[in-house]
Structure 1
Amino acid sequence: MRGVLLFAGAWLAAGCAAAPYRPATDDTVVTTVARRAGMPEIRQLQARLAAAPADLPTALALARRYVALGRAEADPRYFGHAQAVLAPWWGRADAPPEVRLLRAQLLQNAHQFSAALADLQAVTVSQPRNAEAWLTQAVVQAVQGDHAGATASCARVTTLADQLAGFACLAAASANTARMAASERLLAATLERSAGAPDEVRVWALTLLAESAARRGAAGTSERYYLMALALAPNDHYLLGAYADFLLDAGRPAEVLALLRARHRIDALLLRYALALRAAGGQRAALAAAVAELQARFDAAAQRGDSVHLREEARFMLHLRGEPAAALALARQNWQVQKEPADLRILLEAAQLAGDERTARAARDWMRRNGTQDVMLAGSRP
């Protein structure tokens, strides 16, 4: 089951890496690296693969370890390591299904959704009982706004994985539709009956429930779910960002500052911290430093050709730089790639503040067609 949910977090976008830093002298301590669980196993796999670079089982095992570490650390470098391990098979159209699934997951992480779907569709044809492939496909379809496709893929997950994972998949697929509230009720009931489910599945379900409750205006219920999830996964980067957004919407920036005070390595969390500094007031130097650091990181991403975090950059430009036209350009570019609730929100906010009624009207039309429910869409996020 843990293997099936390895990429459930693909719905929960990870933060981008910091800008490159060049130390002034060779003896400068750049960082202190914590001892990570699983590193002896990784070293053993590295040695085995060095001795036999075409050994597929070893390559797959090492790539999966890198992917898991990359998600745990929110560090994209490990995804690059995984791709390098798969290099002998990476460009092959006839790559084994196990490689195609990993390749699809890495492509999804890089927002190369069309290429990811091509691999996933091939895997689900050759291995129709591969629950991880169906789940990853549902992830990509939902991010792209293909709710019908995501629901169909989730239906396959419900027949292959445990009930909580299947209904969490369906709830995520329904997040931007008129089925959101019904899916929330079903997921909540299933969670109550799933006391023995793995923690990562429970955290995913609790986070989905918290976000759904917040979108329909049930703040007390939402916070209860957030706190339950944080009790199980206090270092989950996506969960911390989602709860920080909840607190910002509730006008509680001081709690965001306490929550994220030592978590600035992840760009998405530094963004929330800076938004909280702005909302709290009185810390102008700290806010200026956070804004400068974020700008440097976004500039570095642009130099790399990295457009994965357009949504975060749009929020930065709108709410910290006060440049709605630039924010709207980023939000539009982001909307072409992904259509999650947060993508819709920044598009509508930027359009409203930029005075672009045409784009705002198109966003509202999209909401009506899909039955989107979100009490905050008409307002402004701090």
Structure 2
Amino acid sequence: MNWIKPFIGLLPLLLIGSPLLHAAPFIPKSDQQILETLPTDSPPPRYSNSDSFLSSASTASPEQTSQLLERAYLQGDPRALGQARAQLDQIKDPDVETLMLRARALQADHKFSEAKAQLKQILSKDPAHADALLTLSSLLVVQGQFEEAISYCTKLDDASLRVYQLACMAQVQSMTGQLTQAKQTLNGLANLAPGLDASTARWIYLIQADAALRSKDVALATQVFSVMDTQTVPALMARADWLLKQGDYEKTRLLLQDHTDKDALLLKLITAQIQLGDPNAQQNLGLMKERIDVWKIREENAHMREQATYALLANQINPALQLARENWQQQRETADIVIYATAAIKAGSKKDIELLRQFMTDTQFEYPALERNLRLGKISRSSKETPS
């Protein structure tokens, strides 16, 4: 089933959030105003003018659009996402494949309700559409709707999709009180990973990395990072999260010092630099503020996790808590609960702390170090929690 590969290539986007810069166009007030920050490894411009771009967009194939979305995710290239959206906008009578691509683009813009509507439209016509089932399940995981998410995993009953069904279920189980069982399943899938395509293997490894982080499983982390790539943004984020959790700030700095063009990675780099007393931390905080100022001009709301993290790093505790609260209404992944919990504890907000503890109780979300911090109302030194 060839359609499953481009989907799996984008699936981790639903697990850890997008580090992209993206928004509706706006009119700059001066030639010096920052419009966008592009990755340093971005390819040269493909179009000389708007006519050549529109001509190319109108003739683009679904495969080309899918490749652009995958590049946007894996490399943090905002131009690729913009090009994919422009191509999709040219299609006036979308088929199922186009609806799937639109759902992914909407998710990348954090337009979760619209993305779910597209996916449910597909499933109303074809209840067994595996691509839609997997995408919808992962989107529901992002929002913390775990019971509904696993119901879509179980509908993947085709024998040829067994790997995807198991990974889908393990993803949910790892966040709902079955972390040990999920790690066992994932270990079995990881043994198969070398024979799978790179995107599917990366998806399995990223779920394992999240499980290792929350359970402080050094052996699992060592195993995962020995096989996971070191070039893509999702893999770098997972590695940086683990290193920060262990207090390996120097290794984090070395890992990310050439990735200041990617927002989520820049914030993790700043976290390490602050811990190391690196004077470059203030310069990078200024760089991050410039980007946030652009988001505010554009009236964006798709970067609240990043804004909350910046506010914490800049010691703006109350604004950080408000942003983390707003982000919590959209996303409830591991990174979202960490940033919200950190802001709530630092602000001494008992109401928010209790809300998070209740969420962990209700869902059986396993993260012992974080639960301990919430219970004590303080960030223990041994947990080495960071806001990134």
TM-score > 0.5, shorter chain as reference: yes
Q: What CA RMSD, in Å, does the superposition of the two structures yield over aligned residues?
A: 3.0
Structure 2 gap ranges (5+): 33-37, 374-378
Aligned to 1:172: 171
| Paired AA for residue 271 in structure 2 | L
Question: What SS does structure 2 have at the residue aligned with 1:16?
Answer: coil
User: C-alpha displacement at 1:22, in angstroms?
Assistant: 8.2
- Cα deviation, residue 61, structure 1: 3.6
Q: CA deviation at 1:218?
A: 1.5
**1:326 pairs with one of 319, 324, 328:** 319
Residue in structure 2 matched with residue 75 of structure 1 by the alignment: 77
Equivalents in 2 of 1:203, 1:52: separation in Å?
29
Q: 1:316 aligns with which of 287, 310, 314?
A: 310
Deviation of 1:47 after TM superposition, in Å, equals 7.6
1:48 Cα deviation after fit:
11
**In the TM superposition, what whole-angstrom CA distance separates every residue of 1:288-327 from its partner, at most 9, and x where no partner exists?**
1011001111121122122222112212211x11121111
1:27 aligned residue:
none
Q: Deviations over 1:17-76 (max 9, x none)?
A: 39999887xxxxx9976658xx99x99xx98983894x6xx4434322322332232123
**Is 1:269 paired with 2:265?**
yes
Relative to 1, partners in 2 of residues 1:80 and 1:160: Cα closer, same or farther, differing over 3 Å?
Answer: farther
One-letter code aligned to 2:21: A
**Letter of the 1:120 counterpart:** L
Q: 1:354 to 1:88 in 2, by over 3 A?
A: same
Partners of 2:328 and 2:73 in 1: how far apart?
24
Find out whether 1:354 has 2:347 as its counterpart. yes
Look up the match of 2:35.
Answer: none
Cα distance in 2 for partners of 1:335, 1:211 equals: 18
Cα pair 1:4 1:131 within 8 Å, conserved:
no
> Partner amino acid for 1:256?
T
CA contact (8 A) 1:143 1:339 kept: yes
Cross-structure match for 1:50: 55
The residue that corresponds to 1:201 in the other structure is: 200
Which residue in 2 is equivalent to 1:367?
Answer: 360
Identical pairs, percent = 25
Quick one: distance in 2 between partners of 1:364 and 1:159?
38
Q: How many residues align structurally?
A: 360
Point out the more displaced range, 335-344 or 370-379.
Answer: 370-379
Alignment map for 1:201-280 (pairs within 5 Å): 201-229=200-228, 233-280=229-276
TM-score (norm: length of structure 2): 0.84
Unaligned runs of 5+ in 1: 25-29
Single out whichever of 177-186 and 268-277 deviates more from structure 2: 177-186
Alignment of 1:10-159 (within 5 A): 10=13, 11-17=15-21, 35=43, 50=55, 53=58, 58-89=60-91, 95-157=94-156, 159=158
Contact 1:158 1:165 in 2 (8 A): no
Letter in 2 for 1:304: R
Indicate conservation of the 8 Å contact 1:18/1:265, yes or no. no
Q: CA–CA distance in 1 between the matches of 2:282 and 2:57?
A: 51
Aligned residues of 1:145 and 1:340 also touching (Cα < 8 A)? yes
8 Å Cα contact 2:253/2:272 also seen in 1 = yes
Q: Counterpart of 2:353 in 1: which secondary structure?
A: helix
The answer (yes or no) to whether the contact 2:103–2:118 under 8 Å persists in 1 is yes
Instruction: Classify 1:52/1:115 alpha carbon distance in 2 versus 1 (closer, same or farther; 3 Å).
Output: closer
How far apart, in 2, do the equivalents of 1:209 and 1:69 lie? 23
Moved over 4 A (4+): 18-24, 30-36, 46-49
